[in-house]
């Protein structure tokens, strides 16, 4: 007896296909605005300046010192590259919410750039970042241990961190005080030098005046005393001139 071949019924046709399941559908390409806002969101959510500027974080060398290989040009280059996404010129056409996020991202990039390019803030921030990372690693390593010991170590780390920050600030204050003291000493010496120069000039003028008076006194013509006979003759001549002058006046008056 031949085997009967059973044909599949209409109800079984199409079973196991992916029709209507949504599988195999291609994802829609991300729009430019979505990519822009994604970059802005990543900048805002970055926990530190290094991740905000998308730069590699610092590391420890063999001696345990914090080292960061990025230069000021690298920081400025990263800053210019990222501010293209959130620069105030890009806010045109954005919604109020997106514009506010862009402003926050731009401000965060500006603060990060200033901190990592200035000499007085770059070094302390790098060292502080490395210490925080080490503390986080140590905290992860001691998870499950006694809470009292963990809190005590955390207090010790915080105390050490505050102590080092205080030392840095104290050194900066001492350096500033020394520079101010040096400037005041320089001004004092300059004023003293000017005073000595004025005194020297005044003494030279006084000496020159005294020498001039002395020379005048030496070269003054001596007073020659006339003899008594010549004095009498001069007196007689003077009286004679007076009489002649009186006679002439009376003659002119017709007396």
Residue 200 lies in a domain: no
Residue 13 lies in a domain: no
Residue 109 lies in a domain: yes
Spatial distance between the Cα atoms of 88 and 103, rounded to a whole number of angstroms: 7
Residue 8 lies in a domain: no
Residue 130 lies in a domain: no
Residue 168 lies in a domain: no
Residue 185 lies in a domain: no
Q: What is the CATH number of the domain that holds 37?
A: 1.10.287.110
- What is the pTM for the complete model shown? 0.42
Tokens of 53: 């500027």
- The pLDDT profile of the chain, 255 residues, written as one tens digit per residue, is 344 444 444 444 444 444 444 444 445 556 777 787 888 888 888 888 888 888 888 887 777 777 888 888 999 999 988 888 888 777 777 788 888 888 888 898 989 989 888 888 888 888 888 888 777 766 555 454 554 556 677 778 777 888 888 888 888 888 888 888 888 899 999 999 999 888 888 888 888 777 777 777 766 656 656 566 666 677 788 888 888 888 888 777 766
Question: What spatial distance separates the first Cα and last Cα of the chain, rounded to whole Å?
Answer: 204
Structural domains of the chain, count = 1
Residue numbers of the domain that contains 53: 32-120
Residue 76 lies in a domain: yes
| Cβ neighbours for 113, distance < 8 A, ≥ 6 positions apart | 53, 75, 76, 79
């Amino acid at each position: 007896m031949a085997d009967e071949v059973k044909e599949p019924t209409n109800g079984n046709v199409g079973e196991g296909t992916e029709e209507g399941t949504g599988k195999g559908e291609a994802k829609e390409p991300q729009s430019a605005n979505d990519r822009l806002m994604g970059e802005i969101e990543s900048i805002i959510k970055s926990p530190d300046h290094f991740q905000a500027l998308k730069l590699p974080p610092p590391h420890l060398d063999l001696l345990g010192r914090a080292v960061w290989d990025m230069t000021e040009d690298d920081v400025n280059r990263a800053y210019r590259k990222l501010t293209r996404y959130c620069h105030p010129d890009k806010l045109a056409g954005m919604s109020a919410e997106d514009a506010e996020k862009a402003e926050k991202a731009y401000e965060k990039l500006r603060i990060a750039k200033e901190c990592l390019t200035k000499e007085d803030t770059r070094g302390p921030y790098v060292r502080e970042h490395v210490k925080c990372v080490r503390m986080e690693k140590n905290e992860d390593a001691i998870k499950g241990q006694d809470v009292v010991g963990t809190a005590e170590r955390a207090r010790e780390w915080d105390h050490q961190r505050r102590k080092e920050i205080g030392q840095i600030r104290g050194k900066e204050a001492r350096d500033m005080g020394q520079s101010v003291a040096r400037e005041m000493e320089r001004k004092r010496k300059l004023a003293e030098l000017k005073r000595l120069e004025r005194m020297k000039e005044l003494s030279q003028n006084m000496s020159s005046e005294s020498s001039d008076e002395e020379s005048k006194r030496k070269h003054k013509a001596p007073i020659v005393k006339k003899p008594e006979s010549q004095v009498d003759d001069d007196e007689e001549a003077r009286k004679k001139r007076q009489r002649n002058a009186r006679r002439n006046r009376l003659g002119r008056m017709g007396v």
